[in-house]
Structure 1
């Protein structure tokens, strides 16, 4: 029960309020799925997670067929393996924009966010692995008077 403080003398006897860590709650839609958006470079991934047997679908295809390179498949699985939740969730992803590498990073970011929405206690594990941080590196824009973003035109003395 909270104490009421009537004067400044009561302030010295009041119990200190502990700065508790923020508590995160489970965020599910009406179908029992957790939703999150992942981003990397120009790619944006919309991710839905629900309990299942570990099936990962990207744009209507199996993730092995969509991301043919083993490195991209490994990037996609990193947050699930780090959280030790292999074969426990079905993941449905729609991803657009950028190239395959950026899309794989966006899906990884989205899966990590969705896992924290489904199981808030996984946040510390995923945060420690660096999966919740959006990789903000994007291609630098081309400037006028330049050949590319920073490259100058070739100098000609004559």
Structure 2
């Protein structure tokens, strides 16, 4: 099990994260950079660490992530989703805990498209009665 890696894909908005887990010292590498170099917001770091802390594997698994698309929040959500799915590959007993926390469900909320005849997705052009 020392050289075994667990892979999963996570998605959020337009971001896609490919996640690999392997037993190790607990380092998190995102796009060949450390998490401190890649992510500057503490809330995003907290979101990424949530599944590891919840399952008690924080500091026991090395996380390698390749993420593309989206912004900071979307990428953090995609990484969390990917880590959660990879933890299931690592240990299927984590399913109940992760499912209850909502980490296994793909968040389907995406930006609504702009419609023709309108200023944006829902806002109309200003109406002038006279």
TM-score, normalised to structure 1, is: 0.79
The question of 1:63 aligning with 2:38 is answered no
Query: Alpha carbon RMSD of aligned pairs, Å?
Result: 1.2
Distance (whole Å) between structure 2 residues aligned to residue 86 and residue 34 of structure 1: 16
Q: Residues 64-83 of structure 1: matches in 2 within 5 Å? A: 64-83=36-55
The question of 1:46 aligning with 2:15 is answered no
Distance (whole Å) between structure 2 residues aligned to residue 118 and residue 141 of structure 1: 38
The question of 1:101 aligning with 2:73 is answered yes
TM-score, normalised to structure 2, is: 0.95
SS in 1 for 2:11: strand
Q: Residues 9-158 of structure 1: matches in 2 within 5 Å? A: 32-158=4-130
Q: 1:11 matched to which residue of 2?
A: none
Give the drift of 1:157: 2.9
Following TM superposition, the consecutive aligned residue runs of length 4 or more in structure 1 with deviations greater than 3 angstroms are none
Distance (whole Å) between structure 2 residues aligned to residue 120 and residue 127 of structure 1: 11
SS in 1 for 2:116: coil
SS in 2 for 1:37: strand
**Greater relative CO, 1 or 2 (CA 8 Å, sep 6+):** 2
Structure number with greater Rg is: 1
List alignment gaps of at least 5 residues for structure 2: none
List alignment gaps of at least 5 residues for structure 1: 1-27
